[in-house]
Amino acid sequence: MKKYQKLKKLWSMKNGVMMQYFEWNLPDDGTLWKQLKDDARHLHDIGITAVWIPPAYKGTGSNDVGYGTYDLYDLGEFDQKGTVRTKYGTRQELQEAIAELHRHDICVYLDAVMNHKAGADRTEKCMAYPVDPDNRDQPLAEPYEIECWTGFDFPGRGDKYSSFKWHWYHFSGTDRNEADGKNGIYQIVSEGKAWSIGVDTENGNYDYLMHSDIDLNHPEVIAELNRWGIWVARELELDGMRLDAIKHMNDQFVRQFLTTVRSELKRDFYAVGEYWKEDLTALEEYLGHVDYELDLFDVGLHYNFFQASQAGREYDLRTLLDGTLVRNHPTLTVTFVDNHDSQKGCSLESQVEDWFKPSAYALVLLMREGYPCLFYGDYYGMDGTPSPHRGTIDTLLNVRRHYAHGEQELYFDHPSTIGLVRRGDDKHPDSGLALVISVGDEGDKLMNVGTQHAGEVWHEVTGNRSETLTIGPDGNCVFPVSGGKTAVWVKKPEEEQQAT
């Protein structure tokens, strides 16, 4: 077993939870790192064991969410792009936040954008031709000279940390010809240069996503990005990375990047990749191509949640896990409900409707499989509007830690009402739970929580139901749920039982 998989096993035994600590519409006020530092103890207390932080390096301006990456080595330290800080604060504040998170046993994963660069310092001339956006293998003209934004000198940083300067030949494509002011997808032409292999096949070849596309087959680029990965992991004492846009990156670059960083660091280094595709086969093939060196987000499960929330009572809940990564590769999957791209108004908009979010979170937080990721927007809110789900998520996180242990059985046997049980284990006193989800009318489900729970009095903890239930001598019980809601049943504490 690979070393980092051993670490993952440890986390799953502790019922670890990752939190994506940002949403798209945070204010451009440079306060996120300070907020995160002040929040570390609270995050620990609610059961967060790792935080995925946004791209922490200089983008096209202080208002850049981070994906318009300009300088990977500028962590809010140099006066570049009109600002020293990033959208989230300064390097000093970032390091203080990470130290505080580590003091509270919370791992830190950095969002790593290695597919493209933006905000070049100057234009350069090179040969290129525009391609058909729907078929990137189809040139729209013979090669001609263009003037493109590919010169990165980093005048504000100079040679500190790295003397590498980027030029047109480190890129495979770009989005604008300054000479004639035209935008498009330009494939850069040079001997041996091509769109990369080992990328998604959508649009013919999906190497190009946006801005200036980094040529991950160029030996100087590979060496520089590897050097950066090792540098940033050491400088920030990172515990892992979330790799952005890997669908558009040579899979063999990703594989060697992770093995190189891990072998240099000589310690565990977690990785999860964003391969935004609903197609399970594509995700499974990708995992094979990278030799199972990283986890993937379960995009299929997200879309199932989205569709269930759209369809309501028309949705067949028995299919909720169909086509999901978590069902086939439970130890290589990060489960999530929404993120900064799926939230309303963003590039991959598919936000799960509010009424279904408690059910979606209940499933990812209480089922045995997967490494759940809690979205900042669902906990704290989006665009300045507080989330209505925080209280429910607090409850579910608490249930995850104390009750979501032991053997599991799924009861995905009715189109409108499904359930699952965790039977508990000896290491966690009073553990075990019953979850019921409805997209239709009020319902109930006969489930078995094990004879070890016979005679116990259980209650519902999300506020959905007020009655108590007594587990039968055979471990069976009928667990009710209100229409269109979720119900989470656990053993009622002894002292509360006597009080009622």
Catalytic residues: 244, 274
CB contact set of 295 (below 8 Å; sequence gap of 6+): 8, 270, 271, 272, 273, 332, 333, 334, 371
Give the residue with the Cβ less far from Ca ion, 92 or 183: 183
Among 71, 207, 215, 460, binds Ca ion (CB under 5 A): 207
Q: How far is the CB of 167 from Ca ion (least distance, A)?
A: 17
Nearer to Ca ion, 39 or 207 (CB): 207
Q: Is 250 in the site for Ca ion (CB under 5 A)?
A: no
Residue 486 CA to residue 48 CA, distance in Å, equals 22
Please identify, using beta-carbon distances, which residue of 289 and 414 lies nearer to Ca ion: 289
Q: How far is the CB of 242 from Ca ion (least distance, A)?
A: 17
- Least Cα distance to 316 among 251, 243, 384, 412 occurs for 412
Contacts of 49 (CB under 8 A, 6+ apart): 11, 14, 16, 17, 18, 105, 106, 107
Helices 91-103 and 32-46: angle between axes, nearest 10 degrees: 10
Coil/strand/helix, residue 374:
strand
- Closest residue to Ca ion, judged by C-beta, is 248
From the number of C-beta atoms within 10 Å of its C-beta (0-12, 13-18, 19+), residue 335 rates as buried
- The stretch near Ca ion (CB under 5 A) out of 127-135, 241-249, 262-270, 453-461 is 241-249
Which segment (55-63, 90-98, 199-207, 426-434) binds Ca ion by CB under 5 A? 199-207
- Geometric angle at alpha carbon 127, from 122 and 133, rounded to 5°: 90
CB nearer to Ca ion: pick between 7 and 282: 282
Q: Are 44 and 30 in contact (CB under 8 A)?
A: no
Q: Does 213 bind Ca ion (CB under 5 A)?
A: yes
Note whether 71 binds Ca ion by CB under 5 A. no
**Token pair for residue 138?**
């189809």
Nearer to Ca ion, 213 or 456 (CB): 213
How many of the chain's residues bind Ca ion (CB under 5 A)? 4
Which among 221-229, 245-253, 361-369, 431-439 is the span making contact with Ca ion, rule CB under 5 A?
A: 245-253
Query: Applying CB under 5 A, which part among 185-193, 206-214, 225-233, 276-284 lies near Ca ion?
Result: 206-214
Residue 115 engages Ca ion in binding (rule: CB under 5 A): yes
200 is an interface residue for Ca ion by CB under 5 A: no
End-to-end CA distance of the chain: 50
Q: With binding defined as CB under 5 A, does residue 298 bind Ca ion?
A: no
Two structure tokens written together for 418: 């499904």
Footprint of Ca ion on this chain (CB under 5 A)? 115, 207, 213, 248
